[in-house]
């Protein structure tokens, strides 16, 4: 699925989960609306599966309904995506990311390309879990030494099914030699852009400041060591 294309715009790949646990409707609405205003946007899911939106409410139900009627409402197959064609990568908050994206070889290939070319990546909320798939042949994480912001273990523990999660992102990131932080959030839950290469925010946040998301696409990679002595 691709949004309306304009030749002068750069291309952005929006990767979402196709698992039953779904994609946050609020996060997807914000991500799609903002990104499509600045990029030629391509949405992809594993196997090209239809997205199941969760947390649909009265503020976004109409948008979701209209979106499903669009001619481009069928995602492209993630397996067929060539990362070299895209200038930025965006992953909205997806509760289903742990079920499919976190172990996706196709997404790993795309992330490895983005990492090697220092292209900007923005992962949101539970979408940060998707980054866990990007490991080298020696099982080291390609983002070792970088800084990641996302939902805390405390957030996950309060959610049903915590005991059955295949991995805990905060633990994975720290064990892989990167920095994980839930700090940098304002009291109202809005995200604050940190110096690192990726931005995440709490899934319960209903307002996503456009400036923060725009900055996320421009922040690129931070080659400086993580606080605490972890280097890239």
Please give, one letter per residue, the 3-state secondary structure of the chain.
CECCCCCCCCEEEEECCCCCCCEEHHHHHHHHHHHHHHCEEEEEEHHHCCCCEECCCCCCHHHHHHHHCCCCCCCEEHHHCCHHHCCEEEECCCHHHHCCHHHCHHHHHHHHHHHHCCCCEEECHHHHHHHHHCECCCCCECCCCCEEECCCHHHHHCCCCHHHCCCCHHHHHHHCCCEEECCCCCCCCCCCCCCCCCCCCCCCCCCCCHHHHHHHHHCCCCCCCCCCCCCC
Cβ atoms within 10 Å, residue 79 = 14
pLDDT at residue 19 above 60?
Answer: yes
Residue found under tokens 């779904």: 22
Residue 185 domain-assigned (yes or no): yes
Query: Is 230 a member of any domain?
Result: no
Query: Is pLDDT at 132 greater than 50 in this prediction?
Result: yes
| Percent with pLDDT over 90 in the chain | 51
Residue 131 φ then ψ, to 5°: -70, -15
Is 225 part of any domain? no
Rg of the chain, C-alpha, whole Å: 16
CA distance 65 to 186: 32
Query: Is residue 228 in a domain?
Result: no
Residue 119 lies in a domain: yes
pLDDT at 186: 39
pLDDT in tens, 41-97: 999 999 999 999 999 999 999 999 999 998 777 899 999 999 999 999 999 999 999
The reported pLDDT for the residue numbered 181 is: 80
In a domain, 226, yes or no: no
**pLDDT exceeds cutoff 70 at 197:** no
- CATH number, residue 178: 3.40.50.880
- Domain total in the chain: 1
**Which residue in 177, 183, 169, 181 sits closest to 225, CA to CA?**
177
pTM: 0.78
Structural domain includes residue 232: no
Is residue 222 in some structural domain? Answer: no
Boundaries of domain holding 24: 11-217
């Amino acid at each position: 699925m691709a949004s309306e294309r304009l030749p002068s715009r750069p291309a952005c790949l929006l990767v979402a989960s196709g698992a039953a646990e779904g994609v946050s409707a609020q996060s997807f609405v914000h991500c799609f609306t903002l990104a499509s205003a600045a990029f030629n946007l391509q949405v992809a899911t594993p196997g090209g599966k239809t997205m199941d939106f969760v947390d649909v409410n009265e503020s976004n139900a109409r948008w979701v309904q209209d979106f499903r009627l669009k001619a481009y409402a069928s995602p492209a197959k993630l397996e067929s995506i060539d990362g070299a064609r895209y200038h930025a990568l965006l992953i909205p908050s997806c509760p289903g990311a742990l079920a499919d994206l976190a172990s996706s070889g196709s997404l790993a290939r795309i992330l490895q390309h983005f990492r090697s070319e220092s292209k900007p990546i923005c992962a949101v909320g539970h979408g940060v879990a998707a980054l866990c798939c990007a490991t080298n042949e020696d099982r080291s994480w390609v983002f070792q030494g970088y800084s990641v912001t996302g939902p805390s273990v405390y957030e996950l523990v309060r959610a049903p099914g915590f005991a059955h999660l295949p991995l805990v992102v905060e633990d994975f990131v720290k064990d892989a030699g990167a920095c994980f932080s839930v700090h940098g959030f304002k009291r109202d839950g809005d995200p604050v852009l940190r110096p690192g290469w990726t931005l995440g925010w709490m899934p319960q946040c209903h307002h996503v400041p456009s400036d923060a998301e725009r900055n996320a696409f421009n922040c690129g990679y931070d080659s400086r060591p993580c606080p605490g002595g972890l280097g890239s």
